Amino acid sequence: AGGGRMIDRLRKWYYNAAGFNKLGLMRDDTLHEDDDVKEALKRLPEHIYNERVFRIKRALDLSAKHQILPKDQWVKYEEDHRYLEPYLKEVIRERQEREAWNKK
């Protein structure tokens, strides 16, 4: 159990060291937009997509001003959820099925 706590502390430290949370971004907001990610974004419910766009626009504005959010507005490790992951897994699975079918 002690090793698990240490790993969790390391993950939290790395999450904060990355810095994107200080701009109000979540992990999935920072993914490189390859074809799979672009397709997954199209499948997001509108309100989740709009929240993502807001976070990214706010982060761009803060970055341009060389500012960060007040600490109480940073995205916390425990509050960051992988909102895009289920859609992305589905897109990747479908692509792999298509590729396997096309090889036949």
Q: Which domain holds residue 31?
A: 2-103
Distance CA 78, CA 14 (A): 13
Q: Which amino acid is at 45?
A: P
For residue 1, what pLDDT band results from cuts at 50, 70 and 90?
Answer: low
Number of domains the chain is built from: 1
The residues, any chain, with a CB within 8 Å of residue 12's CB and separated by 6 or more, are 77
pLDDT digits (tens, 9 = 90+) for 52-104: 999 999 999 999 999 999 999 999 999 999 999 999 999 999 999 999 999 87
Rounded to two decimals, the pTM is 0.87
* 86, containing H or E segment: helix 85-103
CATH number, residue 81: 1.10.1090.10
C-alpha distances out from residue 58 to 30, 90, 99, Å: 13, 29, 38
* Between 27 and 4, the higher pLDDT residue: 27
